[in-house]
Amino acid sequence: MLRLQNLIYHPPATPTPILKNINLELPAQKLGLIVGASGSGKTTILEILAGLAEPTKGQIYWRSKQLTDIELQQLAGLVFQFPERHFCGGTVLEELRLGHPELDLQRVKDALSEVGLEHISLKTSPHALSGGQQRRLALAVQLIRQPNVLMLDEPTAGLDWSMKIQLAKLLAKLKEHWTLLVVTHDPGELIEIADYCWTIDHGDLKPIEPAALNRQQK
């Protein structure tokens, strides 16, 4: 279980905290969905969990263990919004092996299979893939690291409706083996596969039942 306890993030340059006393519990192999407008603080939660920002106060636990800053960097895999803009490898194989040159081909193929890309050539340029395939590749890049929590920032941004449905089906499949935390301003199809939901507004996080969130969005 992932647990955030009394988490506050208040950089010195901001007049008010960006995150205000955040409490969150997400059991393993479940999908948690945080919904909020731009600037609400949802991406900051992911950045803290990925070790990219340091909270002002509060604790973060995985199972019963409180995590240090160094351990946080090993906890989660973060798929950024528009992850295709961050591709650096000349081929799919290079992209998956960035930072992990020792990875054997079977690990690479297993990661691609998990996201439904087992049919593509490892010699293909990531930039030659379709938008939906690029999002899947970005997921594979993180899964190959074997994170405890897979985090996605606005995963449906820029996708058409059919790609959004395909992505939701993929995430529903992935949560059979992984713990997922997704933040978005447009929950859409993701509500149907969410086990836990929260809304966030100006740094205030509140739990909400998926069915109630679904009614709000209609």
Gap between the Cα atoms of 40 and 50, Å rounded: 18
Question: Domains of the chain (ranges plus CATH)?
Answer: 2-217 (3.40.50.300)
* Per-position DSSP letters for 115-140, written without gaps between them: TT-TTS-TTS-GGGS-HHHHHHHHHH
Alpha-carbon span 178 to 210, nearest angstrom: 20
Quick one: 109 exposed, middle or buried, by C-beta within 10 A (0-12, 13-18, 19+)?
middle
CA distance 185 to 182: 10
Rounded alpha-carbon distances, angstroms, from residue 95 to 12, 85, 112, 154: 37, 12, 12, 21
Beta bridge partners of 205: 200
pLDDT for position 214: 83
pLDDT (tens digit, 9 = 90+) per residue, 127-177? 999 888 999 999 999 999 889 999 999 999 888 889 899 999 999 999 999
| C-alpha distances out from residue 80 to 16, 103, 139, 154, 210, Å | 25, 23, 10, 8, 24
CB burial readout 79-93, b (16+ within 10 A) else e: bbbebbeebebeebb
Global confidence as pTM:
0.93
Q: Please determine, for residue 195, whether its predicted confidence score (pLDDT) is greater than 80.
A: yes
Indicate whether 216 pLDDT > 90.
no
| pLDDT score of 5 | 96
Q: Mind listing the pLDDT tens digit for each residue in 97-112?
A: 988 778 889 989 999 9
